[in-house]
Amino acid sequence: MRVNQPANQIKLTNVSIVRLKKGGKRFEIACYKNKVQEWRNGVETDIDDVVQVNNVFINVSKGEVAKTEDLKKAFGGKATTETIVREILQRGEIQIGEKEREHELSTLWKEIATLISEKCVDPETQRAIPVGMIEKAMHEAGFSVKAGKTAKSQTSECIRLIQANSKLPIQRARMRVKVIVPTAQAIDEIREKVLASAETVEEQINGEADWETVLLIDPSQFKVLNDLLHKQAEGKGRIETLVFANIASTSTA
């Protein structure tokens, strides 16, 4: 990687800026859009395809290049510009423009609403709730999207807010599971705990070797049941997912 550190200003446009504060100073590098995450994820390995210009700035937008003495003080006298650029690229904070931020938040908002529509139902009808109604409830509940966090990681919080602060009736779609436990185990105690975890018990079969039951459960109970079978059934029981979706049909007659 060829390195220059000119004293004059360099004007750059249409860049993705990565910023790192160190030694009381702010340092920036100019990168190609959408390439920083590819670099961090190991998809892109050629740094010249990530960094637009091989310089360290104090302000990319104004084209103000960092002074050599400031770089040495912050990163050490033996650090080369290339090693400094790589450190900023790996550890720095990606700066997002206003329009990009608005687009990112809008996309996240829609993704969250879509995930909730897929995972939740109207508790009375057990039918899926349209994305548009979910979005309206998100506004009503005062939900705010957090940039930098995935849609999936924000879904549970959003559902709780909708349940607490909106008029939309909503609940997580139930899972239909089958639990199988050998009767040689402490079957009565295990059976009582398994059935207690269910919202609906659809079927029970008492066989000579196994006890089977089909249940509708809240998704949060899946891990509880799995842990129970692992510990009390000594890993000999098992749980199978039959359905993880809206229970009732969403079509109309």
Burial (CB count within 10 angstroms: exposed 0-12, middle 13-18, buried 19+), residue 143: buried
Query: What is the pLDDT confidence band of residue 173, given thresholds at 50, 70 and 90?
Result: confident
Same domain, 53 and 119: no
- Digit-coded pLDDT (tens) for 107-125: 999 999 999 998 899 988 8
Output DSSP code: residue 63: T
In the structure encoding, which two tokens stand for residue 106, read together? 């809008």
**Residues pairing with 177 in the sheet:** 215, 241
In the structure encoding, which two tokens stand for residue 145, read together? 């999207």
* pLDDT score for 185: 62
In a domain, 8, yes or no: no
Q: What is the overall mean pLDDT for the chain?
A: 85
Same domain, 40 and 89: yes
In a domain, 5, yes or no: no
What pairing do the DSSP bridges indicate for beta strands 25-31 and 16-22? antiparallel
Which residue carries 């609906």 as its tokens? 200
In the chain, the percentage of residues whose pLDDT exceeds 70 is 89
Mapped onto helix, strand or coil, the DSSP state of residue 94 is strand
The residues, any chain, with a CB within 8 Å of residue 109's CB and separated by 6 or more, are 135, 138, 145
Same domain, 208 and 165: no
In the structure encoding, which two tokens stand for residue 71, read together? 């770089």
Query: What is the pLDDT confidence band of residue 9, given thresholds at 50, 70 and 90?
Result: low
- Mean per-residue pLDDT for 195-212? 88
In the chain, the percentage of residues whose pLDDT exceeds 90 is 42
Same domain, 81 and 105: no
**Residues pairing with 176 in the sheet:** 216, 243
Query: What is the pLDDT confidence band of residue 217, given thresholds at 50, 70 and 90?
Result: confident
The Cα 104–Cα 187 span in angstroms is 52
In a domain, 253, yes or no: no
In a domain, 1, yes or no: no
Indicate the residue among 95, 130, 153 that finishes a domain.
Answer: 95
10, 101, 128, 238, 247 from 251: Cα distances, Å:
60, 37, 10, 33, 12
Q: What is the CATH number of the domain that holds 66?
A: 3.30.1250.10
Same domain, 27 and 59: yes
In a domain, 75, yes or no: yes
The terminus-to-terminus CA distance of the chain in angstroms comes to 66
- Mean per-residue pLDDT for 180-205? 85
Indicate the residue among 171, 199, 215 that finishes a domain.
Answer: 171
In a domain, 126, yes or no: yes
Cβ–Cβ under 8 Å, residues 216 and 176: yes
Q: What is the CATH number of the domain that holds 120?
A: 1.10.10.900
The answer on pLDDT for 253 being more than 60 is no
- Digit-coded pLDDT (tens) for 221-244: 888 898 888 888 777 788 888 865
Q: What is the CATH number of the domain that holds 211?
A: 3.30.70.240
* pLDDT score for 169: 95
Same domain, 137 and 163: yes
- Digit-coded pLDDT (tens) for 69-103: 999 999 998 899 999 999 999 999 988 777 777 88
Q: Can you give the residue range of the structural domain that contains 167?
A: 98-171
Number of domains in the chain: 3
